[in-house]
Structure 1
Amino acid sequence: MPPRAHHVGLTVSDLDRAVAFYRDVLGLAVVDRFSVDGEAFATGVGVDGASAEFAHLDADGVRVELVAYDPEGTAVESGTVNRPGTAHVGLSTPDLDAFYESLPAEVETQSAPQRTASGTKILFVRDPEGNLVEVLEV
């Protein structure tokens, strides 16, 4: 079964400011706010010591994910998911391990599937242009 659309993710430097813009200026409804950290999250996103705050907003059935990584002790390098301005497409699948095993050998992954402290199982891959694609199990 191919993955299904789940969200469009944008990395921001100031989550409160970004939420205010998307909520107050664009009229999107805030669906959820939460934080994620821990070794599985850092490994899953490919950023040592990563921790982040998230906001999910509803854009008429399309989930917009805003994420602000904690800048303390987290290096930001070109091409990493924690760099402000970075975008990713989020897809979902019911069996992430089976999806991972089915990937062609030439597909670049950040890591094997990881279950984060929030309970979400994630995997990041890169498309042929280097864009990030998150696949999560739901």
Structure 2
Amino acid sequence: MAESFSISGIHHVTLVVGDLEAARAFYGKILGLVPIDRPNYEFEGAWYACGDIELHLLLAEEHADPSRRHLAIAVDNFDECITSLRCAGVGIVGGPGVRPHNSRSFAFCKDPAGNLLELSGPPK
């Protein structure tokens, strides 16, 4: 089924944290990840480069919805990917849309275990 699109790698991993300063100290100072520019979202967070993959840290309340945790997969043929997933009976639970800060197409779906996946297309 995946012949109509290809996955080129992992774009980013998003983790939800309760203490942003402690997370910055751990990922930035202890692990040595390099901070990168972050879009001006309405929620607090920090973005880091981890090789070619980005780590996105989101500040959340203690009882925040865990659905913000996700793995973002970079796909080369975004539209074909969405079509293939829908044909396979996979529901799209967010998007599709285009992010204004980087012009990437995106959509969210869930794997059979309920894990949230973001599909991230190349910039338009």
Residue by residue over 1:61-118, the C-alpha shift from the partner in whole angstroms, topping out at 9 and shown as x without a partner, is: 432222236x6xxx944x522xxxxx32111123322211111443132134112332
| Cα RMSD (Å) | 2.5
| One of 65, 70, 84 as aligned partner of 1:88 | 70
- Alpha-carbon shift at residue 132 of structure 1 (Å): 0.9
Unaligned 5+ residue runs, structure 2?
A: none
Name the TM-score, length of structure 1 as normaliser: 0.66
Alignment of 1:137 with 2:121, yes or no, is yes
| One of 53, 60, 65 as aligned partner of 1:62 | 53
1:104-119 equivalences under 5 Å are 104-118=87-101, 119=103
1:32-43 equivalences under 5 Å are 32-36=37-41
Unaligned 5+ residue runs, structure 1?
A: 37-50, 82-86
> If you compute each CA radius of gyration, which structure gives the higher value, 1 or 2?
2
Give the secondary structure class of the aligned counterpart of 2:37: strand
Give the secondary structure class of the aligned counterpart of 1:106: coil
Q: How many aligned positions are there?
A: 114
Determine what percentage of the aligned residue pairs are the same residue: 29
Alignment of 1:2 with 2:2, yes or no, is no
Aligned to 1:24: 29
Work out the CA distance in 2 between the residues paired with 1:95 and 1:31.
26
Alignment of 1:120 with 2:111, yes or no, is no
